[in-house]
Amino acid sequence: MSKTDDFIQHINDGYLSKGESITLGGAILDGKPLPDTFVKIPLKTLNRHGLIAGATGTGKTKTIQVLSEQLSSFGIPVLMMDIKGDFSGVAKEGEEKDFIKERHAKLNIPYSVSSFPVELMTLSKQDGVRLRSTVSEFGPVLFSRILGLNDTQAGVVSVIFKYCDDNKMPLLDLKDIKKVINYITDEGKDEIEESYGKISTSTTGTILRKIIELEQQDADLFFGELSFEIDDLMRLDENGKGYINIIRLTDIQDKPKLFSTFMLSLLAEIYQQMPEKGDSDQPELVIFIDEAHLIFNEASKALLEQIESIVKLIRSKGIGIYFVTQNPMDIPSGVLAQLGLKIQHALRAFTANDRQAIKQSADNYPTSEYYKTDEVLTSLGIGEAFVTALSEKGIPTPLVATMMRAPMSRMDVLTESEIQEINSKSKLVKKYEEVMDRESAYEMLNKKIESAQEQVVVEQEKKKDSNEPSTASVVTKSVLKVVTSASFIRGAFGILSKMFKK
């Protein structure tokens, strides 16, 4: 048997799939694609997470497009965090150009054009489905970790959440929690100390400064109501295709804390709400996180541990997470070890550091008798990549250089008029466009303070009339409790409490 025949047998055996699978493309050996040697990824292993890496311009976006299209075709919704804004073309049909037909002829894979159902979402003032979450939905644990607080400061945040829970004061936005911090430091200091213990003003001052720092990255646009419902990510269109939900993040590239805040809150919410799926035939939702290094570069040690925990646990809920970045070394080793599918596009060796990074990257992939991995990594063409995945039995597949198939949808961005057309037809845009500001901790505490001040005035008037000793100081220290209607606040100890009990 020749080397080529042996290789074909090796690849076909390794990528054999009895169940439904996604076809990425065909194998390459000695720089040439081999027809009828298909690189397939079983649907049932796509909740085991993955990595899509490669230098700028090597084809990462088109690979995500191919994956998203096929997932959608199987009725699996997709969530794409689009930092660069170059993914929206998936909503429109592609063009059957000559170079695409030539590529698919080499692979012996049929080609047709198609469009896919899309929702355009935003964390900022861009047009689209507004994504929001309340402070109380974060809970004290996650909120503290987003702020990078130490144990003492996080303990004070837990007291703040407990106080608001006990007094039925919803924490909806950042002005709510800032108001509570000011209150327990000033007018309500004695009330808090009597019921919850003494709190240092230096600690509350530090927490307040951290919140202001978050506000400066426009986080106030994200915290509030109407809070986004996870079920709205799981929709299918009238043809049974899964919606591709694109979060447009082009205007927050320089605001990594807001990006990581949103990402962690979303993953935590999904983890809490989704039921255990066990060993299912396909994932419930696949999430692509573009420019993932923006998260990890700014993350504290506690935040990295949180991400690693979520990645480990969320796959049991049928959720697959795929990190997209330039170099595998951008991903912490604890997270990288959890990733079942790895698609590595070309890396460029311009400096000694680049060459060292390529050698380290090559060590992350299975050894192969058919490739010198570090050399091939620098010679892969556009739209070519090394692939290794998990078989249906959970066994790593052989490392194979792959010529990727072309997307069926447009390989370019939408125009402004096309974006407006999608948003005008979206039921979710209409559902979430209104900004709600119902009575919450901010308004309730203002009323409480006003009531106390009025009581002081009344007592002073009484003193003048009866010449009795003033009780103003007593009234100031014992502010009347406000009776409020029961407002639902999701667990005072946060949406991750179940996770930390595991």
Three-state SS for 384-442 is EEEEECECCCCCECCCEEEEECCCCECCCCCCHHHHHHHHHHCHHHHHHCCCECCCCHH
pLDDT of residue 47: 93
Phi, psi of 118 (to 5 degrees): -130, 140
Report the pLDDT averaged over residues 108-132: 92
Residue 49 CA neighbour count, 13 Å, CB half: 20
Q: Look up tokens 């709400």; give the residue.
A: 273
pLDDT of residue 492: 35
**DSSP state letter for 495:** T
Report the pLDDT averaged over residues 446-466: 79
Percent pLDDT > 90 in the chain is 51
Burial grade of 363 (CB within 10 A; 0-12, 13-18, 19 or more): exposed
Residue 66 Cα to chain centre, angstroms? 20
Neighbours of 150 (CB within 10 A): 11
> 39: part of which helix (H) or strand (E)?
strand 32-42
Phi, psi of 39 (to 5 degrees): -100, 110
Q: Look up tokens 């426009």; give the residue.
A: 218
For residue 467, what pLDDT band results from cuts at 50, 70 and 90?
A: low
pLDDT in tens, 170-206: 999 999 999 999 999 998 899 999 999 999 999 999 9
For residue 495, what pLDDT band results from cuts at 50, 70 and 90?
A: very low
Q: Where are the beta strands (DSSP E) in 3-77?
A: 21-29, 32-42, 50-53
Report the pLDDT averaged over residues 299-322: 85
Residue 469 has pLDDT above 60, yes or no: no
- Comparing 81-85, 210-214, 225-229, the range with the smallest average pLDDT is 81-85
Tokens, residue 494: 């946060």
Cα gap 222→225, rounded to integer Å: 9
pLDDT in tens, 255-278: 777 777 778 788 888 888 899 987
pLDDT of residue 253: 66
Residue 385 has pLDDT above 90, yes or no: yes
Report the pLDDT averaged over residues 116-121: 96
Residue of higher predicted confidence among 300 and 305: 305
Q: Beta partners for 52?
A: 324, 343
Cα gap 120→115, rounded to integer Å: 15
**DSSP state letter for 484:** -
Q: Beta partners for 21?
A: 42
The whole-chain average pLDDT of the chain stands at 86
The one-letter code for the residue type at 160 is I
> Which of 86, 93, 99 has its CA nearest to residue 112?
93
Cα gap 74→76, rounded to integer Å: 6
Phi, psi of 34 (to 5 degrees): -110, 115
Residue 499 has pLDDT above 70, yes or no: no
Residue 66 has pLDDT above 80, yes or no: yes
- Top CATH class, 3-132+225-405+416-425: alpha beta
Percent pLDDT > 70 in the chain is 91
3-state secondary structure of 155: helix
* Domain assignments of the chain as residue spans, ordered by start: 3-132+225-405+416-425, 135-222+436-501
Residue 363 has pLDDT above 80, yes or no: yes
pLDDT of residue 483: 31
Instruction: Please tell me which of 85-89, 380-384, 443-447, 490-494 the model is most confident about, judged by mean pLDDT.
Output: 380-384
**Could you give the angle at the alpha carbon of 325 between the alpha carbons of 50 and 261, nearest 5°?**
85
Residue of higher predicted confidence among 500 and 354: 354
Report the pLDDT averaged over residues 210-226: 88
> Which of 222, 238, 247 has its CA nearest to residue 80?
247
**DSSP state letter for 365:** S
With DSSP H G I counted as helix, E B as strand and the rest as coil, what are the percentages for the chain, rounded to 5? 50, 15, 35
Instruction: Please tell me which of 203-217, 458-472, 476-490 the model is most confident about, judged by mean pLDDT.
Output: 203-217
> Which of 24, 21, 45 has its CA nearest to residue 407?
24
Cα gap 474→453, rounded to integer Å: 12
Tokens, residue 339: 């990733």
Torsion of CA 310, 312, 317, 323, to 10 degrees: 70
Report the pLDDT averaged over residues 382-388: 95
Contact between 317 and 334 (Cβ < 8 Å): no
- Comparing 91-105, 230-244, 280-294, the range with the smallest average pLDDT is 280-294
pLDDT in tens, 417-437: 999 999 999 999 999 988 788
> 190: part of which helix (H) or strand (E)?
helix 189-196
pTM: 0.84
Tokens, residue 236: 């299918």
Residue 303 has pLDDT above 90, yes or no: no
Helix 174-185 to helix 189-196 angle (10° resolution) is 90
Contact between 261 and 307 (Cβ < 8 Å): no
Tokens, residue 282: 């396909």
Q: Within the chain, how many helices (H) and strands (E) appear? A: 19, 12
For residue 468, what pLDDT band results from cuts at 50, 70 and 90?
A: low
Q: Side by side, which strands form the sheet with 384-388?
A: 32-42, 21-29, 400-404, 384-388, 341-344, 50-53, 319-325, 285-289, 78-82, 244-248, 118-122, 129-130
